[in-house]
């Protein structure tokens, strides 16, 4: 830290005005990615309820997609899914599959 005192370090992650959190795409923090398995999904929307980042998107009351710009890969959605319709994969594994 090149001799700086803690008082000289700028404050990070400041929410200066309402709604500016959309400017901070935090999905790059993710090391695991939820993958939706449509054939198993019953659209109970428990995943939507338990997502702390509002990264589960719905359309007409049904699961639509994950907003990976904001998903941090916590796995709450997969852990709570009663039908195992969400599986967690490592980000590296998911990226390799995306390339196929």
Could you tell me if 48 and 58 are in contact, meaning their C-beta atoms sit under 8 angstroms apart?
Answer: yes
Q: What is the pLDDT of residues 1-28, one digit of tens each?
A: 456 676 776 666 666 777 766 777 888 8
Q: What is the pLDDT of residues 27-75, one digit of tens each?
A: 888 999 999 999 999 999 999 999 998 999 999 999 999 999 999 999 9
**Close Cβ partners of 53 (under 8 Å, ≥ 6 residues apart):** 26, 70, 71, 72, 74
Q: How are beta strands 56-59 and 86-90 bridged, if at all?
A: unpaired
Domains of the chain by start residue, with CATH:
37-94 (3.30.70.20)
The reported pLDDT for the residue numbered 26 is 82
């Amino acid at each position: 830290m090149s001799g700086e005192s803690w008082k000289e370090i700028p404050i990070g992650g400041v929410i200066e005005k309402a709604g500016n959190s959309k400017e901070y795409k935090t999905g790059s923090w993710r090391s695991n990615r939820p993958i939706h398995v449509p054939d198993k999904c019953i659209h109970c929307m428990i995943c939507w309820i338990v997502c702390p980042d509002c990264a589960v998107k719905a359309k007409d009351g049904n699961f639509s997609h994950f907003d990976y710009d904001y998903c941090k890969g916590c796995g709450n959605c997969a852990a709570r899914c009663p039908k195992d319709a969400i599986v967690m994969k490592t980000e590296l594994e998911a990226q390799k599959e995306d390339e196929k």
